[in-house]
Amino acid sequence: MALVGFLTEAIFNVQQRTLESFNSHTLSIAVTGESGSGKSSLINAMRGLRAGDEGAAGSGMLDTMTEPMAYLDPVLPGVTLWDLPGVGSPYFPLDTFFEQHNLSQYEFFIIVGFQRFRFEHARLACEIQRMGKRFYFVRSKADADLDASRRQRPSSYNEERILEQIREDCRRGLAAEGVGHPQVFVVSSWEPNRYDFPLLRQTLQTELLHLKRHAFLLSLPAVALPIINQKKAALKVEIWKIALFSCLLAAVPVPGLSHLCTFFVFRKHLFGYYSNFGVDNRSLLALARQVGRPLWELMAVMTSLGTTPMMALKLLLDSVGAAMMVAEYSWKRLPVFGALVSGGVALVTTFFMLRKCLDSVADNTQRVLSKALEVERENAI
Ligand SMILES: Nc1nc2c(ncn2[C@@H]2O[C@H](COP(=O)(O)OP(=O)(O)OP(=O)(O)O)[C@@H](O)[C@H]2O)c(=O)[nH]1
Ligand SMILES: [Mg+2]
């Protein structure tokens, strides 16, 4: 099966799968945010626990962790909630937080903030977006804000208006850093039946299939890379034989034969590489149709050598043409020695140029795959 055939099928399978078929896949959700923002309390509330219950995450002003802790979500299948140490604490300053915790291992994020929107939140959101991942922004301790408001201005107190102001403050803060359309929930972990807490749970449940698909798609290039490399290694073994064959043909004293041979050898194998990796026109067209994008968009990422086998062939022949002419010239002057030179030139050029082509086609395959998945990722969310 052609490689992109395999990939097109993989993408198709992801599109068609139901939540049940994804249940065996786990989703690691990192709950992150500044120290004391209420991360552990949020996880406890999501698991229907209170601080101090058996199995609950440690919470409290003095209960700071230094290692991520994993908690299984009792309702959402295959979801692990990771309680991360607080950002910006003396142990984990913001600048080194990302390297210290290798955020790329998590598939989805919940950023927990309290009080005013801060720069740290935006930095976290930008870093998550840079990795091509998604997050919800949870503004915790809504009860404390409402309580303060009620005490300060009892006559004009309006719960819904205050909640909306808090949501708006978070959205504005994120938008200022270029984060468009963030999902913001204003919650209190002490009152999980109120404010946006039920909506947060419901949204997570509804989006779980999308999130799992998204996580699966993100992992595809890593899955495909060994297959591409395997295919490349297998084809590389054959290059010696092809080079030897073209060396023998080039040594035959017939004018123009070495040029002709090189042309046919390159043409046959180049076309083979393109179709074998699935980046020939027909496979690309099928892939473009499947991801719903024009063909040129996928082809635009194919930078090395040529986007079609014919273009690559022309480039190759141009670059080996001069070497072939020298070989043929010496062959005409000194028949025996010339035949050796001619054969040697054919051997070396065929070997190195075909290797270069193969590397380039494999590289193009990886690029096309990433582009196709990028499109799919956009569609998945
Ligand atoms: N009023 C109010 N207080 C909360 C809420 N959630 C957490 N707290 C309090 O905020 C403090 C910090 O909560 P934690 O859940 O431990 O915060 P954390 O983000 O896990 O803190 P670190 O692990 O130190 O980073 C505790 O005293 C909690 O009781 C909430 O919804 N409302
Ligand atoms: Mg904690």
Digit-coded pLDDT (tens) for 82-136: 999 888 776 777 777 777 778 888 989 999 999 888 888 888 898 888 887 889 9
Q: Is 200 within a domain?
A: no
In terms of domains, do 368 and 242 share one?
yes
Nearest to 71 by CA among 104, 26, 33, 103: 26
Domain assignment present for residue 16? The answer is: no
Mean pLDDT of 214-219: 72
Residue 32: inside a domain, yes or no?
Answer: yes
On whether both 279 and 373 belong to a single domain, the answer is yes
b/e burial code for range 45-82 (CB count within 10 A of at least 16 → b)? bbbebebeeeebbebeeeebbeebeebebeebbebbbb
The DSSP secondary-structure symbol of 89 reads S
Number of domains comprising the chain = 2
Residues 84 and 108: beta-carbon distance below 8 Å = no
With a 6 A CB cut-off, is 46 part of the ligand 1 pocket?
no
Q: Whose CA is nearest to atom 24 of ligand 1?
A: 64
143 and 229 within one domain: no
Residue 19: inside a domain, yes or no? no
* Residue nearest to ligand 1 atom 2, measured at CA: 141
Q: Is any ligand 1 atom within 6 A of the Cβ of residue 65?
A: yes
Give the whole-angstrom CA distance, residue 336 versus residue 347.
Answer: 17
80-94, 260-274, 281-295, 339-353: segment of lowest average pLDDT: 339-353
* Beta strands across the sheet bearing 79-83: 69-72, 79-83, 27-33, 108-113, 134-139, 183-186
Same domain, 186 and 47: yes
In terms of domains, do 129 and 48 share one?
yes
User: Does the pLDDT value for residue 20 go beyond 60?
Assistant: no
pLDDT attached to residue 187: 97
Which of 32, 39, 41 gets mutated to test ligand 1 (max ligand atoms within 8 A of its CB)? 41
Last residue of a domain, one of 195, 215, 247: 195
Q: How far apart are the first and last CA of the chain?
A: 29
Strand pairing category for 69-72 and 108-113: unpaired
Ligand index nearest the alpha carbon of residue 62: 1
- Looking at residue 227, its pLDDT comes to 77
pLDDT at 380 > cutoff 60: no
Nearest one of 356, 227, 265 to 304, comparing CA atoms: 356
Q: Is 343 in the pocket of ligand 1 (CB under 6 A)?
A: no
Residues 166 and 67 in one domain: yes
Boundaries of domain holding 277:
224-380
Ligand 1 centre to CA of 180 (Å) is 28
Asked if residue 109 and residue 179 are part of one domain, the reply reads yes
Are residues 231 and 366 located together in one domain of the fold? yes
| Ranges 148-157, 250-259, 282-291, most confident | 148-157
List of E strands, 178-300: 183-186
pLDDT at 159: 94
Exposure string for 12-30, b = 16+ CB within 10 A, e = fewer: eebeeeeeeebeeeebbbb
Q: What's the gap in Å between 59 CA and the centre of ligand 2?
A: 5
pLDDT above 80 (res 293): yes
Distance 74 CA to ligand 1 centre (A): 21
Is residue 147 located within the same domain as residue 40? yes
Q: For ligand 1, is residue 60 a contact (CB within 6 Å)?
A: yes
Q: Is the CB of 63 under 6 A from ligand 1?
A: yes
Domain shared by 374 and 260, yes or no:
yes
Ligand lying nearest the CA atom of residue 51: 1
Does residue 18 form part of some domain?
no
Ligand 1, atom 10, lies closest to the CA of 38
Q: What percent of the chain has pLDDT over 90?
A: 24
Is residue 12 a part of any domain in this protein? Answer: no
Question: Does one domain contain both 165 and 48?
Answer: yes
Whether the CB of 52 sits within 6 Å of ligand 1:
no
- Residue with token string 């205050």: 162
Counting Cβ atoms within 10 Å, is residue 169 exposed (0-12), middle (13-18) or buried (19+)? middle
Check if 143 has its Cβ closer than 6 Å to any atom of ligand 1: yes
Q: Could you tell me the CATH number of the domain that includes residue 104?
A: 3.40.50.300
Decide if 333 is inside a domain: yes
Q: Residues 228, 372: one domain?
A: yes
Look at residues 180, 195, 210 and tell me which one is the last residue of a structural domain: 195
Lowest mean pLDDT among 152-161, 247-256, 272-281: 247-256
Q: Which domain-ending residue is among 195, 213, 240?
A: 195
Residue 207 pLDDT exceeds 80: yes
Is 15 among the domain residues?
A: no
